[in-house]
Structure 1
């Protein structure tokens, strides 16, 4: 592999997760991102109370992302072999934490808005 291209990354992720699961995750991420943008535009401000609860959920998301990736790849923490494995694991945890925070904030905003109106 001489160059890292988008097509190469897609092929690698399809191989790791399986084609159906990978594309379901891509669609879910796109839907949650669009809902988050909608909430930000609709509310015109960030609610600090919702933001705090979203931040408190971040460790749960980080652990869940690592467990999910390890279960899909059939690996365990003892299989970490070098610095790049640690970097990838930390990246997965960080993306899981941020994704969970965005999801929790968006869900709170959409559910409270529908309940109150």
Structure 2
């Protein structure tokens, strides 16, 4: 693999997760992102109380993302081979944490309308 292109990344992720699961995750990410943008535009301000509660969900999201990747790829901590594996694992954890925070904030804002 000499060139790292978008098509190459999509092919790798489809192979790793399976075509259906990968595109379902992409669709879920798009829906949550659009809902988050809708909430921000609708409320015109960030609710710091909801933001704090969303931050409390970040460690859960980080652990859940790492466990999810380990389950999908049939690997575990014993299979980490080098520094790049640790970097990728940390990246997965960070993305899981941020995704959980955005999801929790969005759900809170959609369930409880602003005053």
| TM-score above 0.5 | yes
1:66-81 matches, within 5 Å, as 66-81=66-81
Alignment correspondent of 1:63: 63
Q: CA deviation at 1:91?
A: 0.2
Alignment correspondent of 2:4: 4
Alignment correspondent of 2:28: 28
- 1:13-40 CA-partner distances (Å, limit 9, x unpaired): 0000000000000000000000000000
Aligned residue pair count: 115
Give the 4+ runs in structure 1 shifted more than 4 A: none
CA distance in 2, matches of 1:104, 1:10: 27
User: Which runs of 5 or more residues in structure 2 are unaligned?
Assistant: none
Q: CA deviation at 1:3?
A: 1.0
1:88-107 matches, within 5 Å, as 88-107=88-107
Alignment of 1:19 with 2:19, yes or no, is yes
Q: CA deviation at 1:2?
A: 1.3
Cα RMSD of the aligned pairs, angstroms, is 1.1
Alignment correspondent of 1:48: 48
**TM-score under structure 1 normalisation?**
0.96
Alignment correspondent of 1:82: 82
**TM-score under structure 2 normalisation?**
0.98
Q: CA deviation at 1:95?
A: 0.2
CA distance in 1, matches of 2:64, 2:82: 22
